[in-house]
């Protein structure tokens, strides 16, 4: 381990909720919950104001509504989150070539590798400057942890929240870790934590006192050795600039179980198209197509098919997904569907016959449908629907965002990041003067309320899943796929 705190961990404060508060003046300082807003939705991020009521990440949205009925419940806008994330990651890459993103709002940086810091004083100055730069570029707050290892830097950033900076001085690590609960250490989840608790181990110091042999006996050789080393504050993991992606996947959870087999097939085709667009956006192709089906009784089935070579052709992926669906019994209804591609490569080997056969199918799926949709009628005209929290523009009133919709009406609050809290107006869902638009930039806005609490990834369903801690994904079960949308932003 190093003798200087030159590993930095950045964690944006309640990233999704803070973006929404910065975008919407009327929500600053108020309870905001971002995630799936339908009956089966899951909370992605809750602001501090919402956490006061007990709302937290990964909680079912229905439970959150009971705890905080007056909070604003918004569907994630992953486009603007990614844009802001790219700006933040750009600032980190100016500090060092070794930047390891963990998610859209979190990353490690090796300051020593970039010559940005070499001791405690220089590291603290870099951290303070980074927080100021992030505020200037995005209008948002981030918390910074500085330490001699990745594990300790992440612990420091947790202590720094919200909107702070904590530096752990070399030599003080054991004293700091000792009284902390065992769940503080990486790799200690609920199951391992309960196992240790049952044998009387509650703190990190008690792990160290138990000894390596006892931990190996309790947890196995690999886990026992690793956990003992971390309890002694030993963490030699390097900051890795690039992580190999393992899979690309998308999935939707539906408010109402889908019983119509034809409808299930159409959803799988649409998901396959979205998956390929994410695959191509990442400059990847893959050999193995994976179908995930969660049935009415919560049983989850996974089917996969490996092709002769990697592909990023939508017709090939759709045909493979359809074949996989043929082997799944959907009697009784389906609550979740997902399509993924693994065995990734950076080149393709086209299946020309499948491409020709699937050409018609490719054009039958709406290519602009980037956002997950919920249950819709299988046939007939589809009512124009609007997504809570997403951006719209009216020919007369200008830019605003959807507060809610139903019974043929949509309610819009007209305001911008730089305006005062705006007025609310209601329109017919098919009002010709109302259209979905791209979000406005946040730069130049005032700080977004009090920041917000830390999110746990995202509750969306699209993801590029990496190895280990990488997970550049908005992963979750029941995120954005809870609500049907009309012509939403791309």
- Characterize 35-50 residue by residue with b for buried, 16 or more Cβ atoms within 10 angstroms of its Cβ, and e for exposed: bbbbebbbbbbbbbbb
- Angle between the 212-219 and 221-231 helix axes, to the nearest 10 degrees? 140
User: 37 with 61: CB under 8 angstroms?
Assistant: yes
Query: Do residues 57 and 34 lie in contact, with contact meaning Cβ atoms separated by under 8 Å?
Result: no
All residues at 6 or more sequence positions from 463 whose CB lies less than 8 Å from its CB, including other chains: 248, 249, 250, 471, 472, 473, 474, 475
The DSSP H or E segment spanning 139 is: none
Q: Is the separation of the CB atoms in 32 and 47 below 8 Å?
A: yes
Q: Which of 20, 49, 106, 415 is catalytic?
A: 106
Burial of 175 from C-beta contacts in 10 A (0-12 / 13-18 / 19+): exposed
Whether the bond into 162 is cis, omega within 30 of 0: yes
List phi, psi (to 5°) of 434: -110, 130
Place of tokens 């695959």: 279
β-bridge pairing 142-147 and 398-406? unpaired
Is 106 assigned a catalytic role?
yes
8 A C-beta contact, residue 61 and residue 36: yes
CB-CB contact of 108 with 9 (8 Å): yes
- Strand pairing partners for 485? none
Number of H helices, E strands in the chain: 15, 19
Spatial separation of the C-alpha atoms in residues 99 and 86, rounded to whole Å? 12
Show the tokens assigned to 276: 């390929």
Q: Which residues pair with 144 in a beta bridge?
A: 10, 165
Buried b / exposed e across 452-464, counting CB within 10 Å, b at 16+?
bbbbbbbbbbbbb
CA angle 142, 158, 239 (to 5 degrees): 80
- What distance in Å separates the CA atoms of residue 84 and residue 95, rounded to the nearest whole number? 18
| Catalytic residue set | 106
């Amino acid at each position: 381990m190093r003798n200087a705190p030159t590993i930095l961990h950045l964690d944006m404060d309640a990233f999704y909720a803070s973006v929404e508060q910065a975008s919407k003046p009327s929500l600053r300082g108020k309870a905001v919950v971002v995630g799936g807003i339908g009956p089966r939705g899951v909370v992605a991020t809750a602001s501090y104001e919402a956490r006061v009521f007990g709302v937290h990440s990964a909680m079912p949205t229905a439970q959150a509504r009971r705890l905080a009925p007056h909070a604003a419940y918004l569907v994630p806008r992953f486009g603007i989150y990614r844009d802001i994330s790219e700006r933040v990651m750009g600032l980190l890459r100016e500090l060092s070539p070794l930047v390891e993103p963990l998610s859209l709002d979190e990353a490690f940086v090796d300051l020593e590798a970039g010559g940005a810091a070499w001791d405690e004083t220089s590291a603290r100055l870099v951290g303070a400057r980074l927080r100021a730069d992030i505020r200037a570029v995005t209008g948002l707050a981030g918390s910074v942890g500085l330490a001699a290892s990745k594990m300790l830097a992440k612990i420091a950033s947790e202590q720094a929240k919200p909107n702070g900076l904590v530096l752990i001085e070399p030599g003080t690590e054991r004293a700091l870790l000792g009284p902390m609960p065992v769940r503080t250490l990486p790799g200690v989840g609920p199951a391992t934590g309960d196992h240790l608790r049952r044998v009387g181990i509650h703190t990190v110091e008690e792990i160290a006192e138990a000894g390596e042999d006892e931990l190996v006996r309790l947890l196995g050789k690999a886990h026992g050795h690793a956990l003992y080393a971390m309890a002694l504050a030993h963490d030699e993991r390097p900051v890795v600039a690039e992580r190999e992606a393992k899979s690309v996947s998308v999935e939707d959870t539906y408010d109402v179980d889908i019983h119509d087999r034809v409808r299930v097939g159409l959803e799988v085709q649409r998901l396959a198209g979205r998956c390929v667009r994410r695959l191509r956006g990442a400059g990847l192709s893959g050999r193995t197509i994976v179908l995930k089906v969660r049935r009415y009784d919560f049983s989850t089935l996974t089917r996969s098919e490996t092709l002769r070579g990697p592909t990023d052709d939508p017709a090939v992926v759709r045909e493979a997904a359809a074949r996989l669906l043929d082997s799944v019994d959907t009697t009784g209804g389906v609550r979740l569907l997902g399509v993924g591609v693994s065995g990734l490569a950076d080149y393709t080997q086209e299946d020309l016959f499948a491409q020709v056969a699937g050409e018609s199918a490719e054009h039958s799926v709406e290519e602009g449908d980037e956002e997950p949709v919920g249950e819709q009628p299988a046939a007939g005209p589809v009512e124009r629907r609007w997504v809570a929290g997403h951006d719209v523009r009216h020919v007369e009133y200008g830019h605003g965002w959807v507060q809610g919709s139903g019974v043929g009406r949509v309610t819009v609050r007209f305001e911008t990041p730089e305006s005062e809290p705006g007025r609310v107006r209601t329109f017919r869902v098919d009002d010709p003067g109302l259209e979905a638009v791209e979000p406005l930039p946040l730069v130049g806005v005032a700080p977004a309320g009090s920041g917000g609490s830390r999110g746990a990834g995202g509750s969306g369903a699209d993801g590029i899943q990496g190895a280990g801690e990488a997970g550049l994904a908005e992963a979750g079960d029941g995120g954005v796929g809870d609500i049907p949308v009309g012509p939403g932003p791309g």
